[in-house]
Amino acid sequence: MPLEFPVSLIVPCYNEAKRLDVATFRAFLAQPSGVRLLFVDDGSRDETIATLEQVIAGFEQRAAILRCARNGGKGEAVRLGILKALAGFRPQVVGFWDADLATPLASVDRLLQVLADQPQIEMVFGARVKLLGRHVERRAIRHYLGRVFATVVSNMLGLSIYDSQCGAKLFRVTPDTQAVFADPFLSKWVFDVEVLARYLTIHCKQHGEDPRRLEHIVYEYPLETWSDVAGSKVRASDFLTALIDMVRIRAKYL
């Protein structure tokens, strides 16, 4: 049975014309659900807009396209999409989902179920954990670089987070949500870490709370299925850029 949360799910897109699974997105939109999709075109130079128009045709009540004049990076696309959703749709939950559907859309309800079952949880993140009975297929180099990066993130934030970079995340809308996404991010790619750093700043400075409280409001959900989709724009060389961005994030927020 579909959950009745009003949800706005942001799908950032940059030159995704050949990777967008039109049929799968349309099948999702055809099912009864409280989930609204907002596709954010991040200044694409290919036929992404035309492909997105195929996706939403006939489903304009549940799907829309936000066009950015120039490419600002995934973080900015997500940020603008969430602000648009908060201002126009008044959802109870916002989030973002990678356009390549490496995480299947079927997982949306599973993450929402966590929020339904545990009212204290404010953030649910998909986690790519290769366990028996789960189908998580990830290239070895990305897996090992990811483990190193996750260790750095955990130590910097003081949180035992396993997978900060999975592109499947949901946030319960609270008075802090607007503040977290109000300003542009320092980093285009590891903005996920910056989101957590901003939550830490808010809870420590405004509410006077121990930063460890975030461990009680963030839930990592081990995904049943995740697969590396060909054409990813993330390269091994971006690992160094990500580490530099981590230093900048630490200097500004922590």
Residue 7: closest CA among 170, 181, 116: 170
Residue 228 lies in a domain: yes
Per-residue confidence (pLDDT) for residue 213, from 0 to 100: 67
Under 8 Å between Cβ of 131 and 222: yes
For the segment 130-142, what is each residue's pLDDT rounded down to a tens digit? 888 888 887 777 7
Instruction: Report the number of distinct structural domains present in the chain.
Output: 1
- 1 in a structural domain: no
- Of 115-119, 192-196, 225-229, least confident by mean pLDDT is 225-229
In whole angstroms, give the CA distance from residue 187 to residue 168: 18
Strands 7-13, 135-137: pairing kind: unpaired
Residue 33 has pLDDT above 70, yes or no: yes
- Is 80 exceeded by the pLDDT of residue 233? no
Would residue 60 count as lying in a domain?
Answer: yes
Residue 65 inside a domain? The answer is yes
- pTM attached to this predicted model: 0.91
Higher pLDDT: 163 or 146? It is 163
- Whether the Cβ atoms of residue 135 and residue 55 lie closer than 8 Å to each other: no
Find out whether 157 and 196 touch, Cβ atoms under 8 Å.
yes
In a domain, 13, yes or no: yes
Are the C-beta atoms of residues 242 and 190 closer than 8 Å to each other?
Answer: yes
**81: its two tokens:** 């999409």
Looking up residue 63, the CATH number of its domain turns out to be 3.90.550.10
Range of the domain at 51: 7-253
Residue 2 lies in a domain: no
Report the 10 Å Cβ neighbour count for 132: 4
Q: Per the domain annotation, does 130 fall within a domain?
A: yes
Burial of 183 (0-12, 13-18, 19+ CB in 10 A): exposed
CB-based contact 226:102 (threshold 8 Å): yes
Provide the pLDDT confidence category of residue 113 given band limits of 50, 70 and 90: very high
Q: Is residue 112 part of a domain?
A: yes
